[in-house]
Amino acid sequence: MAKTIVQEFTKGLWDEIPPFRLVLGLCPTLAVTKSVENGIGMGLATTFVLLGSNILVSALRNVIPSKVRIACYIVIIATFVTVVELLMQAYTYPLFLTLGIFIPLIVVNCIVLGRAEAFASKNGIAKSMADGLGIGIGFTLALASLGAVREVLGAGTILGIPVFGPSFEPFKFMVEAPGAFVSLGLMLAIMNLAGKK
Amino acid sequence: MGDYILLAISCILVNNILLAQYLGNCPFLGTSKKMETAVGMAMAVVFVGVMAGVITWLVNKYLLVNFGIEFLRTITFILVIAALVQFVEMFLKKSIPGLYAGLGIFLPLITTNCAVMGLCLININEEYSFLESLLTSFAFAVGFGLALILFAGVREKILLARVPKPLQDTSIALVTAGILALTFFAFKGMA
């Protein structure tokens, strides 16, 4: 528990990077990573919710009775999800449509509830902020990298820019559901090989 | 009548909630190591999924749309599901202890199962009627159970196989799930 704030932040980027190290939050990971752009959008939305809920849960940790804590966390998280939903609807409408049902589903993303329960309810506000931000950015990086792999192979583009010549035949498998499972599985294997820092 | 059968088949196989819509993957990987837990989870999801689908449909129509407060949908649905799970748990414990023992710890876990929340949201987004919602909730939940139990069977076999070290556990499970998804993907040709 003698970790500094900086360490709390950086652990989210490698040692505990979701969903590779903490195998949580798989549904959005699989569903939205057809392209880099979607991955980053989803990652940032989740980061916002994580940061908000971590701060609030940490601030209220001595007020919330432990018997009803999970229900309280869920209400806090759902509030931030609603905020993000309305913000995205107002400012990034095309992305809002692509992500669709997965924005309200951030509520049941186990990463968010997991951090509230495992970290924010036991630590101070500053540390919880660092933790939320670190895990959130780690999640965004993971989604973006998975999105990059699938977009390059499945559509032959990266962020919408073609990377191969016109003769490239897109590897359709990668942008569909089976490709999502297989590429995430192989990414996990690569992370296992790379080992912990 | 034919339409309803078609809708049910499309929800169970073609748009399988796990393998085609990517919902409920955490319990999919978490409870598929053993056949027993997979069956328990599948049963719990069917049970709660149908009830949640019906109740959220009613809440949406008569509460949220009626008062023009649809922006509160996310928060309301999760509360309804959480309360429902608690209630079902207490009810089963009192009146049907056998079933309660069978479902065991899987009931509370359902609150954070995005398949349940997902099917409620799909029902609303697709603007299904009450009967259609009832049917799709059941069909989606059955599809979830089907995929989960199939996958648990495969995973029990994997335990006996020699898997390369970096691929062990979750990694090989995901690759296998991909192959399973490929078989479900073939049903898309039917639609």
Looking only at Cα atoms, what is the longest distance across chain B? 59
Smallest Cα–Cα separation from A73: which of A30, A33, A119?
A119
- Indicate the residue of A31, A104, A185 with minimum beta-carbon distance to B22: A31
* ipTM score of complex: 0.82
In the numeric block, the tokens 């107002």 are attached to A90
- Which one of A181, A187, A191, A193 makes the best mutation probe of the B interface by having the most chain B beta carbons within 10 Å? A181
User: Token pair for residue A119?
Assistant: 């970290």
User: Token pair for residue B68?
Assistant: 């023009």
Contact A107 B78 (CB under 8 A): yes
Smallest Cα–Cα separation from A89: which of A103, A75, A79?
A103
Smallest Cα–Cα separation from B171: which of A189, A14, A101?
A189
Nearest-Cα distance to chain A for B88, in Å, is 16
Sign of CA dihedral A56, A109, B53, B153: negative
- Which one of A24, A27, A46 makes the best mutation probe of the B interface by having the most chain B beta carbons within 10 Å? A27
Nearest-Cα distance to chain B for A56, in Å, is 17
Contact between residue A55 and residue A130 where contact means Cβ atoms under 8 Å apart? no
Mean pLDDT of chain A: 85
Measured between CA atoms, the residue of chain B closest to residue A83 is B71
Rounded CA separation A41/A98 (Å):
10
pTM equals 0.86
Measured between CA atoms, the residue of chain A closest to residue B76 is A78
Write out chain B's pLDDT in tens, 191 residues: 778 888 888 888 888 888 888 888 888 887 888 888 888 888 888 888 999 999 999 999 998 888 888 888 888 998 898 888 888 888 888 888 887 877 767 777 787 788 888 899 999 988 899 999 999 999 999 999 999 999 999 998 888 888 888 787 788 888 899 898 888 888 876 65
Nearest-Cα distance to chain B for A2, in Å, is 31
Rounded CA separation B168/B150 (Å):
20
Cβ-Cβ contacts under 8 Å for B42 (sequence gap 6 or more) = B144, B145, B146, B148, B149
Domain that holds residue B86: 2-190
Contact B114 A104 (CB under 8 A): no
**What are the tens digits of pLDDT across the range A6-39?**
888 887 777 777 877 777 778 888 888 888 888 9
What is the DSSP track for chain B? -HHHHHHHHIIIIIT-TTTTT--SHHHHHHS-SSHHHHHHHHHHHHHHHHHHHHHHHHHIIIIIIHHT-GGGHHHHHHHHHHHHHHHHHHHHHHH-HHHHHHHTTHHHHGGG-HHHHHHHHHHHHTT--HHHHHHHHHHHHHHHHHHHHHHHHHHHHHTTS---GGGTTHHHHHHHHHHHHHHHHGGGGG-
pLDDT at A197 over 60: no
Query: In the prediction, which pLDDT does A2 show?
Result: 54
Cα–Cα–Cα angle for A73, A74, A77, nearest 5°? 85
Q: B25 to chain A: which residues are within 8 Å by CB? A: 26-27, 30
Q: A186 to chain B: which residues are within 8 Å by CB? A: 171, 175
Contact A185 B23 (CB under 8 A): no
- Indicate the residue of A71, A85, A177 with minimum beta-carbon distance to B74: A85
User: Token pair for residue B140?
Assistant: 């989606």
Domain count within chain B = 1
- Which one of A20, A81, A101, A102 makes the best mutation probe of the B interface by having the most chain B beta carbons within 10 Å? A101
Q: CA-CA distances (angstroms) from residue B186 to A46, A177, B180, B182, B191?
A: 33, 11, 10, 7, 10
DSSP state of A115: H
Rounded CA separation A159/A176 (Å):
18
Task: Confirm or reject contact between A81 and chain B (CB < 8 A).
Answer: yes
For the segment A157-180, the average pLDDT, to the nearest whole number, is 79
Contact between residue A74 and residue B76 where contact means Cβ atoms under 8 Å apart? no
Query: In the prediction, which pLDDT does B108 show?
Result: 76
Residue A158's φ and ψ, nearest 5 degrees, are -135, 125
Rounded CA separation B182/A69 (Å):
41
User: Token pair for residue A145?
Assistant: 């990298």
